Amino acid sequence: MEYFLAVAREQNFSRAADYLHLTQPTLSRQLKDLEEEFGKTLFLRGKRKVTLTEDGIYFRRRAEEIVSLAHRTEAEMKHPDDAVSGDLYIGAGETDAIRHIAKIVADLQRRYEGIHFHVVSGDTEDLTERLDKGLFDFCLLLGDVDQSKYEYMELPFRDRWGVLMRKDAPLAGRERLVPEDLWGKPLILSRQILGNARVDKWFGKPFSGQNIVATYNLVFNASIMAAEGMGYVLTLDKLIHTQGSDLVFVPFEPEQTIGMTFVWKKYRTQSKAAEKFLEAFGSYVSGL
């Protein structure tokens, strides 16, 4: 799988072989054996470049997950039993509340230099899929969560919904916005909003019938679209710093907020680093 991923990344057998310190014939033979084992063609081989087939694209995604999990498992197994060290993997929705996690991790790293912190942003569907596969230790999820699947900690933080737009946009002078203000306007929405019955009900009309000019999964990209005058971004407050920029954030009236939950897999044996983090996080939250 690592050989396959190297070729997929380099798009060239010769460069991949150099990276892997193999001869090109050896690498080609290994991957030909892999294709024969699956009964699938993974690469389209050109004179100077190889590209992935549809099967190859699917296998790349799975191979990345499997190799990542294998490397992580190997690293955890090699840690001394009494050592508080290793990697912490946290999936998180885009929220200003990540600063609370960062504070706890910073304190842990001052006490235990061997702890390393990795955070991946995404929506609930993406994050819980990786959590279920063992690729994350914890997830910080926004909105409703299927609590029956996980151990969880409900957090006393709420983010405020509103609209990000250019300062010269027609709605920029308002102190508050109601859903009707956005009917018919060019909207830029997150993938998670689309098809959400609760949000449709609050908005007063199905989003499917609105003027949706773009969708996003990371709000930084959406902020660039707003800055270029593409439309109005429905998002959470404090994710984009608007001071000194061409953008402004206007909240909704009445105020609309979203809660969040910290979750981890049931019956999972935690590493020493994860145990220390969870203990510190619980103490931090209970003290708020």
The parent domain of residue 279 ranges over 83-157+259-286
CATH number, residue 20 = 1.10.10.10
Domain C-terminal end among 77, 105, 123: 77
Euclidean distance between CA atoms 50 and 9, whole angstroms: 10
If asked whether residues 263 and 153 sit together in one domain, one would say yes
Positive or negative CA dihedral for 88, 93, 94, 96?
A: negative
Q: How many domains does the chain have?
A: 3
Confidence of residue 153 (pLDDT cuts 50, 70, 90): very high
Question: DSSP readout, 33-57?
Answer: HHHHHHTS--EEE-SS-EEE-HHHH
If asked whether residues 14 and 133 sit together in one domain, one would say no
- Cα distances (angstroms) measured from residue 140 to each of 89, 98, 270, 272: 11, 8, 17, 20
257 strand-pairing partners: 160
Domain C-terminal end among 77, 98, 132: 77
**Residue 209: strand, helix, or coil:** helix
Task: Give the pLDDT score at 124.
Answer: 87
pLDDT for 27-67, tens place per residue?
Answer: 999 999 999 999 999 999 888 899 999 999 999 988 888 88
CATH number, residue 224 = 3.40.190.10
